[in-house]
Structure 1
Amino acid sequence: MTTPRDTNPSRRSRANGDGTVYQRKDGRWEAAGYVLAVGDTRKRVRVYGTTRKEALAKLTEKTATSNRGVPMVSVHDSLAAFLTYWLENVAVHQLRENTHTRYTACVNRYLIPGLGKKKLAKLAAKDIRTWLNELRTVCQCCARGIDAGRKPDAQADHRPRCCAIGKCCRKQLSPLTLAYIHSVLKSALEHAVREEEIPRNVARNVRTGTPRPRRFEPLTADEARIFLSAAQSHRLHALFELALRTGLRKGELLGLRWEDLDLAGGTASIRRTLQRTSTGGLTTLPTKTLSSERRIALPTPCLRSLRDHRDQQTREREKAGRGWKESGQVFTRPDGHPIEPATLTRHFKALLCRAGLRQIRFHDLRHSTATLLLEQGVELVVIKEILGHAHIGVTATVYAHVRLRLQRDAIDLLGHVLRDPAETTSKPDDGGDPHLCAAPVR
């Protein structure tokens, strides 16, 4: 004997905990059920679809996510709850560990104290713009109590200098930091749009302005020659020479393995980078971006220094004996263990002092490579491939000041060509250097 429930599958009742599905008066289908919420609580969510199957599929997806222990955030929750959910359940799977650490610090230090009490659904572009304008003018020593928390040290005379003595030092955030905070908020709200929690990303309607790129002080050609000469006596001379001649990043140099080098063919394959993370310690990771994974040509001096370094490493391996840590990496400590990035920085600073050069960052060696290549007339697209930039616009923006100087030199040469011959005094040709108007314009 059949029953109405057997003859109409769409009207079958669902088991306890599966939620409900029904058709609304406007024709849409609505599915509702309980899922895990922030704070280990449960709340009822509603999803909609044009068909019963579509609405049920959406509810099943949210229920499955809840069963995996991932809490669900709704528009009625605060921005602080959503940002915490986003960091712990979304961004942690999409970002590198160091990047995720910086995002977490940005959220906990600025976004949650400033906008955390706002409801996700009621957050407006005006709220973000007003908060950013206030953040731009607030002294960070005052806001975070940095100066008041310093312990006086009689030997170093580190006494409070700011709000603790009633005098503000006006230590404000840089435009670059403000742009970074804004970008983190945009990334979080973009996920809320994809999850259909909010209709639009209101942070995209706020303009913070384009901050000026960070100033760097690359080595001049004379300073570069002095640096290479001083590095010859250093144990890691091959690393420093490779850094200046190819522009490799610090992590790419430390993550380089012998299997990545083709000394016979004179090439190197950049596939990985070495970084220190808070959980894994020194960890080998893929390159920064897909474009950073590249193959570059090695200059002849680097090939010679790399062969000498390989012989030196063989002697160190024999000397260390059983204490040698085999990793296959090109640049290691004398016992074979990988080199700490901070340790390399200390070696670099000491080398600059010994060479009598001004103090610069290790990353400025990379900028020095690009600057010197540009000054020699190398095409921008070639420099982009050598450095491993994702877009040529990055190369053009970072080194815009160099290109402007080259343009000025070219225009000056053109001015010599267009100068009135009556204004110049002709001299007999003695067969020496060519006249300026005959110099090629690159």
Structure 2
Amino acid sequence: MKGHIRERSPGKWAIIVDLPDAGGKRRRKWHSFAGTKRQAQEECARIITAIRHGGYTEPTKTTVAAYLDRWLDHEKSAVSPKTLERYAEIAQKNIVPLIGDVLLSKLKTERIDAAWTSALASGRRDGKGGLAPRTVHHMRRVLIKALSQAVVWDMLPKNPATASKPPKVERKEMRAYEAGTTAELLDAVRDTRIFVPVLLAVMCGLRRGEIVALRWRNVDLVNCRLAVVETAEQIKSVVRLKETKSGLSRVVSLSSTVVEELKAYRARQAEEQLKLGIRPDDRSFVVSQIDGAPLQPRSLTHEWTRILAKTKLERIRFHDLRHSHATQMLAAGVHPKIAQERLGHSTIAITLDLYSHVMPGMQADAAEQVDAAIRRAVKPAS
């Protein structure tokens, strides 16, 4: 294996190595290098060693932007449409403006770290400051995943994003309504079209997508329960039904209040649809547009934000209604395992991690109950 260096201009070198091809002949590959003569010689030796031991990757003119387009096309058959949409948004709108013009073969960890620093300082597309650390964290995860495929395709010898420093992400304080505020909320939205979605979120712990995908055939008002068997996701203006987040269906028991509200709502909904010439059946969506068509998840969020702004209640996300239900359950002494099953978490560890802020009070109550039991068991001295 041969290689040598040639000076092009002061501090600029060409590293020329001989590569064997499939026919046994040799061809030359040129590498550009900036530095001292000794550094160029060391780089030449490193390349020759890599070739001999199978760790060499030929440099190409592919930019990071062009590679990410190729990677996204590859991911179409490997991830859900919603995940692909998120990957594309992060790659094309956040990563490409920072390092898209860099040659893939020249991408180094130092350059990636500089990109994260720039994103945190001034990464917003509207020019009004930097991106949130959590957003930059997502950017790093997507780039790591994308460049890992480049390693598999022998386009990179190793993944330079893996060694980049992730931004520190502080966990946001969970916001939730207490029982009294929940009662105020239900009264405030009772005469609006989001009453039932709010009811299912704050009284049953359903996710937004699960509410949108719920059909009447999955609601048993006689036995006071409903089955969550699918969820809805929105990609641009298209709503797609798929399996639940955990991949498992679950049964959620309904309180008498929720059952009565759903009975009255179903009657009103059927009356409205019959006036439009629509005959509702068990396949009908519980929460739908006036004509029975499925509601868009984003439309539900927008309507929630609009209506909540008209009240004096604390502004929280629609998803925080689910957190409110979980917090109220655990604060009332419901066992975390029951809460996990009701919320649809894949493991109880997720439930305990998300709602650990409720646990101190539960532990204090448990300690007092154990203490009281022991005191009752101790016979008074005679």
What's the TM-score once normalised by structure 1's chain length?
0.63
C-alpha displacement of 1:208? 1.1
**Over aligned residues, Cα RMSD in angstroms?**
3.6
Counterpart pick for 1:79 among 61, 64, 67: 64
Whole-angstrom CA distance in 2 between matches of 1:238 and 1:329: 12
Aligned residue in 1 for 2:37: none
Unaligned stretches of 5+ in structure 2? Answer: 1-20, 26-56, 377-382
| Contact 2:227–2:251 (Cα < 8 Å) also in 1 | yes
CA deviations over 1:178-200 (Å, ceiling 9, x no partner): 10110110111222234344343
Runs of 4+ in 1 over 6 A off after TM superposition: 323-327
Structure 1 390/211 Cα, relative in aligned 2: closer, same or farther at 3 Å?
farther
1:205 aligned counterpart, secondary structure: coil
Structure 1 192/289 Cα, relative in aligned 2: closer, same or farther at 3 Å?
farther
1:296 aligned counterpart, secondary structure: strand
1:276 aligned counterpart, secondary structure: strand
Aligned residue in 2 for 1:426: none
Counterpart pick for 1:185 among 140, 143, 165: 143
C-alpha displacement of 1:413? 5.6
Aligned residue in 2 for 1:328: 284
Identity %: 27
Aligned residue in 2 for 1:362: 318
Aligned residue in 2 for 1:314: 270
Residue 134, structure 1, aligned to residue 118, structure 2: yes
Structure 1 321/121 Cα, relative in aligned 2: closer, same or farther at 3 Å?
same
Whole-angstrom CA distance in 1 between matches of 2:290 and 2:87: 36
Aligned residues: 323
Counterpart pick for 1:108 among 82, 85, 92: 92
Between 1 and 2, higher relative CO (CA 8 Å, sep ≥ 6) is seen in 2
| Contact 1:292–1:389 (Cα < 8 Å) also in 2 | no
2:104 aligned counterpart, secondary structure: coil
CA deviations over 1:59-92 (Å, ceiling 9, x no partner): xxxxxxxxxxxxxx986222222111011x2222
Whole-angstrom CA distance in 2 between matches of 1:74 and 1:378: 60
Residue 257, structure 1, aligned to residue 215, structure 2: yes
Output the amino acid matched with 1:256.
Answer: L
What's the TM-score once normalised by structure 2's chain length?
0.72
Output the amino acid matched with 2:320.
Answer: D
Output the amino acid matched with 2:215.
Answer: R
| Contact 2:217–2:283 (Cα < 8 Å) also in 1 | no
Aligned residue in 2 for 1:195: 153
C-alpha displacement of 1:347? 4.1
CA deviations over 1:340-361 (Å, ceiling 9, x no partner): 3344335434554565422221
Residue 93, structure 1, aligned to residue 93, structure 2: no
Whole-angstrom CA distance in 1 between matches of 2:295 and 2:366: 47
Unaligned stretches of 5+ in structure 1? Answer: 1-20, 26-72, 148-168, 418-433
C-alpha displacement of 1:307? 1.9
Structure 1 127/346 Cα, relative in aligned 2: closer, same or farther at 3 Å?
closer
CA deviations over 1:331-386 (Å, ceiling 9, x no partner): 12333233333443354345545654222211110111111122123333332322
Aligned residue in 2 for 1:242: 200
Residue 123, structure 1, aligned to residue 107, structure 2: yes
Aligned residue in 1 for 2:178: 220
Aligned residue in 1 for 2:38: none
